[in-house]
């Protein structure tokens, strides 16, 4: 099987029991344990210790659609601090989710960003949601 591309992912958000749909991008979510080494005297080999892993903040975003996202933004602002679930699943070349490739992140919403705008701008605008994960992804 060939490696996949960044475009072949399905990212979804559910918060407060409300399915908020599909998002275009996902960043963060790295699992990492803090490490340290102890160097004993006499040039003994070092020993290491690793703390339990933590998962970094996740930011998901999508292109702003006023008909869909004006309501979603207001809903999510009222849900800051609420539990949520982000699903991230690889898609095959046929755009069908790959069985067993779903990763689920449970956490809390900590931020909602509306699109930046500029009267001279021509770029597509983005709607972002930031989540702090609780526990490891499943």
pLDDT tens for the chain, residues 1 to 138: 577 788 889 999 999 999 999 999 999 999 999 999 999 998 899 999 999 999 999 999 999 999 999 999 999 999 999 999 999 999 988 888 888 889 999 999 999 998 888 899 899 999 999 999 999 999
The class level of CATH for 9-133 reads mainly beta
CA pseudo-torsion sign 90, 95, 100, 104: positive
Output the pTM of the full model. Answer: 0.87
SS3 93: coil
Q: How far apart are CA 113 and CA 127, in angstroms?
A: 6
Question: Quick one: tokens of 133?
Answer: 């994960």
């Amino acid at each position: 099987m060939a490696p996949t591309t960044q475009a072949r992912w399905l990212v979804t958000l559910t918060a407060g029991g409300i399915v908020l749909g599909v998002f275009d991008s996902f960043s963060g979510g790295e699992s990492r344990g803090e490490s340290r080494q102890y160097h004993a005297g006499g040039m003994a080999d070092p020993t290491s210790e690793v703390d339990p892993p933590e998962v970094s903040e996740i930011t998901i975003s999508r292109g702003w659609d006023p008909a869909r996202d004006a309501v979603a933004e207001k809903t999510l602002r009222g849900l800051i601090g609420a539990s949520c679930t982000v699903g991230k699943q690889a898609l095959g070349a046929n755009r069908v989710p790959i069985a067993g490739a779903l990763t689920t992140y449970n956490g809390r919403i900590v931020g909602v960003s509306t699109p930046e705008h500029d009267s001279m701008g021509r770029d597509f605008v983005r709607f972002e949601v930031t989540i702090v994960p609780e526990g490891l992804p499943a």
